[in-house]
Structure formats: C-alpha cells, structure tokens
Amino acid sequence: MTFVPHTDADRAAMLDAIGVSSLEALLEDIPEALRLPELDLPPARSEPEVERALGELAVGVGCTAQRPGFLGAGTYRHYVPATVDSILRRGEFFTAYTPYQPEISQGFLQATFEYQSMICALTAMDVSTASHYDGATALAEAILLALGEGGRSKILASPSLHPQHRAVVETYLRGTQGELVAGSPADADEGVAACVVQSPNYFGQFEPVRDWANHAHEVGALAIVVPDPVALGLFRAPGDEGADIVAADGQGLGIAPSFGGPHLGILATRAAHMRRTAGRLVGETVDTEGQRGYVLTLATREQHIRREKATSNICTNAALMALAAAVHLATVGRAGLRRIGELCFHKSHYVAKRLGELPGCEINPQAPEAPFFKEFVLRLPVAAHEVNHAIEAELGVVGGHPLGLEFEGRERDLMLAVTELHTRRDLDDLVAVVKRVVGSDGKTS
C-alpha cells in the first residue's frame, strides 16, 4: 500500500472536524506514562541487515536465507533500496512507452531528466542519454559515434576489455569499415578513431585512463572509457581523466541480478558529440505560461523519424532501468555511494589478502601490482571448478567465474567478486572452504 503523508492542512482539517484544537489535546485521555513508553528493542540496523535477518528467520518455513555469492564478471549483487521497486512498479512508470507526447508524460520525462543529470555529475561529462540495453551495446554505440566523426576505421582497445563487450562490438562492426584491435596506449596512430579502455577492467583492476586519453588525443582520436559506476562514488570520474565518451553498465545502480538481466546501458559524452549520440535525450524547457517542462530533444536523430538514416536501433522505451538507477542514486546520495564503494574496496582486499596467504594461491597473476576495486583473480593450485563445487556445496551460494571458460591455459584461475553485501562471516567462510580444498601444503585435500 502506497504511503501518502498527511500535510499540516490535512491534520488541521481532521482535528477541526472532530472539534479538537490540537493533536496533543486529542491524546489527553491517554495516561502520560503510556504515551511514549520505553521499548526494549535491539539496536537499529541498516536496511540490508534487516533483510538478511528476516531471511534467516524465514529458514525452516519454506524459505532459504539469502547469502551473496561470489560471481561477478559484469553482473553483481549490490544493495537495492526498497524505494527502487516501490517507485519502479507504479503503473505510470512500469507500463510507460516512449514519451512522444510531452503534455501527458511530464512525470516520466522529468524522471529521465533527473537520471541524465545524475549520470553527468557521476561521470563529469556534459550530456547523458537515457538509455541503452546494457554496457556492451552502449559501448558499441559509442564506437559507431567515433567512427562517424572523421573517416578513420581502427578502434584500439585494451586487451583487458570485457570479452562479451568485445564480442558485441565486433558484431556491430560487421558491415562497416571499422576494425577492433587490441593494444596499449602507445599503439595509437593516425588511423585510430577511438581508444577504448575499461577501468576497472574485466579482471577488476584499474587501468591508466589518463595515459589512454592522452595518447588518443595526440593522434586526434577520441577516448572512450568504460567505468564501473559504483566505483565512481569513490574514485575520479572519467571526464576528469580526459574521457570524451563514457560507456558503462549501470546494473550495479539499483538493479538486482535476475538470471542475467535486465541491465542498463549508460552513455555520456562531451557536448561536442551531442548531436550524434544514440538513444533518447530529454531536455528542460519553459512552456507558454512560463512553467518548467520537459521534452524529448534532438529527436530527429531517432529511428522513428530518420528511418534508414538512423544512427541507432534505440527508439522505444529502454529507460525503465534508468529510472531504477535514478531512484537508487537519489536514495543513497553522494555519501552513500561513496560508502558503498569503500565497503566494496576494503572487503575485497581483506579476503584477497587472506586467500593469497594460502599455500599455492596467488592474487591477480596477470598484473600483481595493479590496484583492484571489488573483483580479483585467485590462481589456485587446483582446477577452479573444484573450488566452485566446494563453495556451492558447503556455503550454498554460487562461486566465482572460472577464467578457463574464456582464456586457454587459465583453468586454475577463479575470478571472485565481493560487494558491500558480504559480511565478515561470508568472507571467512569462503577462505575456510578454499583452505580445505587446497590443503595445508597447497595440494588437493
């Protein structure tokens, strides 16, 4: 049931109707000792803690306590405030279609405008669209934008770009002159249209974004950065590091992992590229009566107008998840997002240190000195699937992501994701399971 708080005028009208002068007078017949009795309640808990406690109480009555697993690789279990679903499931939002008629879509248009404003603040960019299907398609649209800028055909990408992002981009590039090549910032040359760097990268480690941007600009290319939006509450924004375009996956912003989806594709750019961005852009204006209003702007670039000349296939309502992100960001605020980032950082480093001390185990062998955020690679003395089976059997949660699925010769590498929802007990239990599997001498027990 939706809660609608009473205003002072509402309360005054009700008191007047029953002939009572004030709320205090209404309660005079209740003995004073009973009006505000001391309650023997446990200490206050945060919303995630309450949810977890209720889940544990529900065990044995047909429910299973929810413990966060360790699978990441692009989809993560972060804290989702109760406000997100409460607002998202309202009929006027949940069933909304593309708001072509602004006179009847002001609420949805304003919500979209607020989302764009938050993304611009988060990324330090000038313009944000709302929105794309996921991070991979947002990146593909960013690359198509770059290819259309100056007639160049090569896209230089960091080798640690998410493999699924790379696959989607290669699909988009079929039928074009574009070519995606892997390399370092120093490989940028006059044929490069854009340099793409993901930071934190697929393995959870930070990349030298400033170096990538500088090398791109030296050869007249655009710098496309793929960040983790959750990390931006704690670390420098891509725009402050020289990014021209930001393409990211916003699933961690108030969207629960639901069998792989839905996701949120974030695309933000400098103002110079505004007219070539794909997707929807909502602008703020003033109507004939001088009141603030919201409209779709630069809509002629969308497919429903341009048809075969369209720059994108994004032309319907892909903004429901953008609304979820906006509600999430408004709920947690600047300080809350920073706190989430801090918890992810410190918890992941705590468990990585403990795992790295186990016999035969190594942390981030691909780049031992590079800092990481909430995800890291654990190289084991045994096959990764053996540890995953033990995690699932003993802890009842999903284990990490075996890198052998994508990289030949990395069958012993297990990528683990740790977020703010993991407790000390969760992490200590993980260490205990891995320790039992690898044994005291680094061999399978």
Whether 227 maps to a domain, the answer reads: yes
- DSSP annotation of 284 reads E
Tokens of 392: 């699932």
Q: For 165-200, what is each residue's pLDDT tens digit?
A: 999 999 999 988 999 999 999 999 999 999 999 999
Q: Is the pTM of this model over 0.95?
A: no
Tokens of 346: 């410190």
Crossing angle for the helix pair 320-356 and 424-438, nearest 10 degrees? Answer: 50
Whether 54 maps to a domain, the answer reads: no
With b for 16 or more beta-carbon neighbours within 10 A and e for fewer, the 117-132 pattern comes to ebbbebbbbebbbbbb
Whether 390 maps to a domain, the answer reads: yes
CB 424 within 8 A of CB 68: no
How high is the pLDDT of residue 309? 67
How high is the pLDDT of residue 151? 81
- Please count the structural domains in the chain: 2
Whether 51 maps to a domain, the answer reads: no
Evaluate the omega torsion of the peptide bond into residue 48 and state whether it is cis, within 30 degrees of 0. Answer: no
CB 144 within 8 A of CB 311: yes
Q: Does residue 285 sit in the same domain as residue 359?
A: no
Query: How many CB atoms lie under 10 A from the CB of residue 296?
Result: 18
Q: Does residue 357 sit in the same domain as residue 217?
A: no
Crossing angle for the helix pair 384-395 and 424-438, nearest 10 degrees? Answer: 130
Instruction: Tell me the pairing of strands 179-182 and 292-296.
Output: unpaired
Q: Does residue 129 sit in the same domain as residue 244?
A: yes
Q: Does residue 250 sit in the same domain as residue 350?
A: no
Residue closest to 74 by CA, chosen among 248, 295, 334: 248
CATH number at residue 171: 3.40.640.10
Query: Order of strands across the sheet with 222-226?
Result: 127-128, 265-269, 245-249, 222-226, 192-198, 154-157, 179-182
Strand partners, 198: 226
Q: What residue has token string 């209740």?
A: 30
- Where is the domain boundary, 326, 358, 379? 326
How high is the pLDDT of residue 1? 47
Q: What is the residue range of 111's domain?
A: 82-326
How high is the pLDDT of residue 310? 66
Whether 375 maps to a domain, the answer reads: yes
Alpha-carbon distance of 148 to 428, in angstroms, equals 51
Strand partners, 181: 156
Whether 355 maps to a domain, the answer reads: yes
- Where is the domain boundary, 295, 326, 357? 326
Whether 67 maps to a domain, the answer reads: no
Residue closest to 124 by CA, chosen among 269, 327, 250, 230: 269
Query: How many CB atoms lie under 10 A from the CB of residue 368?
Result: 10
Whether 53 maps to a domain, the answer reads: no
Q: Mean pLDDT, 10 residues at a time, over the chain (445 residues)?
A: 77 93 89 84 86 76 68 95 90 76 86 96 95 92 90 95 97 92 96 97 98 98 98 97 97 90 93 87 90 83 61 66 95 96 98 97 97 98 97 95 96 98 96 92 56
What is the distance of C-alpha 22 from the center of its chain? 48
- Where is the domain boundary, 297, 326, 355? 326
CATH number at residue 385: 3.90.1150.10
Q: Does residue 116 sit in the same domain as residue 236?
A: yes
Q: Does residue 380 sit in the same domain as residue 262?
A: no
Q: Does residue 315 sit in the same domain as residue 341?
A: no
Q: Does residue 350 sit in the same domain as residue 310?
A: no
Q: What are phi and psi of 246, to 5 degrees?
A: -120, 125
